Amino acid sequence: MNYTYKKIWLIAFPVMMSILIEQLINITDALFLGHVGDVELGASALAGIWFLAIYMLGFGFSLGLQVVIARRNGEQRYSETGKTFFQGFSFLLSLAVVLCLLSQILSPVLLKHLIASGDVYNAVICYLDGRIWGLFFSFPFLALRSFLVGITQTKALNMAAFTAVLVNIPMNWLLIFGFGMGISGAAIASSLAELCSLIVLTTYVFRHINRHLYGLHWSMDMTVLKEIFSISVWSMLQFFMSVAIWFLFFLAIERLGEMELAVSNIVRSVSALFSVIVNALSGVTSSLVSNLIGAGEKKNVFPLCRRIIRLGYAAGVPLIVLALLFHQSIIGAYTENPAIVQAAWLPFAVMLLNYFFALPGYVYLNAVTGTGATRTVFIFQVTTTIAYLFCLWGLSHWNVPLAAYWAVEYLYVILLGMQAIIYLKYKQ
């Protein structure tokens, strides 16, 4: 299999657009809520990451599902791809029911003990009450995306992403300001956007995918589900942990003050645009590596990774330069508070430059995932998390600027990448 730069980009770009759905929802929420108040802006960060941690359980499963589908596609067992998809779809829908119920019961209790500010806590719960039901739309969407990425037919993801943006922006304005619903309106608008993107993707699959060729007929096979779960369980834990770390990071920032929390939400919101590129390219890496292994071409894994990294730098570096040049306008779009605009500059720059380390780190990590060694990836995540939390704990005992907390991200992605490269060279 010859994956040229053009072919990688044609596969990766629609995936990038689909990932952009979730990130643009968070960015839009932050942009609108920043003009409601600093408490709402900061609360949307904590609530968004709490929701994202729950969402990542489904995302982690979908990544394992994608690996299995891609392996079947690489082996040219096309009818097995649809059968595998339906096992994953059924599981994700069931998981959405369980997680929604658990969140309604446990989130208020847990967050009450974790969030110091009463105002921030109340705003977080208001957001989650409307947002958590979006799992019923986002989890089936993840199953469909895994199928399309696994068979390398990703064009429809562009349409789904565009639809979500068209729905989310006007609905945010209407519900937050038009109906005066505040942070609850942002949550409901986000869930509605996910519903519309799911409808678009479902319609595309029914109209344009050869259901006979790919075996798209409803069936249940516990053996296949067990195989998917044996790979996915480690991805689920890995991605849940990766976002849980973000939540702990923002809890540490929340204790610095409401302004620092608001600043960090702005920085995180902008960083989401760059993480879209990183996550899309690294996610495609796992699928393409899985296809290579299915075709018996292990020797091409490192050349593929290097091409993807170069492509990522070509796409991301111009955006970093523009963001640095126009940082005041970008930060100012979130808030009218000049103190927040000034305080955000240094953490903003630190976050942007982390892209140079995050891209190769996650590409190589997802190459390991593509080999099926998801348990190994989880172990890498655990060891890196311990080092990361130890550094955060150390910083909390010193009077350091906010940018120092953001610099710990460098350590995180470098450690992940180093472990992944060593594994691919000597253990694969």
Question: pLDDT by residue (tens digit) across 128-148?
Answer: 998 999 999 999 999 999 999
Find out whether 182 and 227 touch, Cβ atoms under 8 Å: no
Q: What is the pLDDT of residue 402?
A: 85
Provide the 3-class DSSP secondary structure of residue 371: coil
The whole-angstrom separation of Cα 46 and Cα 233 is 25
Q: How far, CA to CA in Å, does 345 sit from each of 286, 325, 403, 405?
A: 35, 11, 9, 14
Find out whether 110 and 120 touch, Cβ atoms under 8 Å: no
Q: What percent of the chain has pLDDT over 90?
A: 35
The whole-angstrom separation of Cα 191 and Cα 226 is 30
270 has a pLDDT exceeding 90: no
Q: What are phi and psi of 214, to 5 degrees?
A: -95, 5
Q: What is the pLDDT of residue 248?
A: 81
How confident is residue 157, by pLDDT bands cut at 50, 70 and 90? Answer: confident
Q: What is the pLDDT of residue 45?
A: 74
Among 244, 242, 234, smallest CA distance to 110 is for 244
Q: What is the pLDDT of residue 171?
A: 92
How confident is residue 292, by pLDDT bands cut at 50, 70 and 90? Answer: confident
361 has a pLDDT exceeding 90: yes
15 has a pLDDT exceeding 80: no
What tokens were used for 126?
Answer: 């208001």
User: Residue 223, Cα to own-chain centre: how many angstroms?
Assistant: 29
Q: What percent of the chain has pLDDT over 70?
A: 99
What tokens were used for 383?
Answer: 């060891």
Q: Which residue has the tokens 């108040």?
A: 37
406: which residues sit within 8 A by CB, 6+ positions away? 264, 267, 347, 350, 351, 354
Q: Which one-letter amino acid corresponds to residue 321?
A: V
Alpha carbons within 13 angstroms on the beta-carbon side of residue 220 total: 3
Find out whether 300 and 317 touch, Cβ atoms under 8 Å: no
202 has a pLDDT exceeding 90: yes
User: Residue 181: which domain range?
Assistant: 5-426
How confident is residue 92, by pLDDT bands cut at 50, 70 and 90? Answer: very high
18 has a pLDDT exceeding 70: no
Among 92, 93, 135, smallest CA distance to 228 is for 92
What is the pTM for the complete model shown? Answer: 0.73
The whole-angstrom separation of Cα 377 and Cα 373 is 7
Q: Comparing 22-36, 90-104, 172-186, 271-285, which segment has the lowest mean pLDDT?
A: 22-36
Q: What is the pLDDT of residue 323?
A: 93
Query: In sequence order, which ranges of 255-337 are alpha helices (DSSP H)?
Result: 258-294, 301-325, 327-332
Beta-carbon neighbour count of residue 82 at 10 Å? Answer: 24
Q: How far, CA to CA in Å, does 261 sit from each of 43, 51, 115, 193?
A: 8, 17, 12, 26
The total number of structural domains in the chain stands at: 1
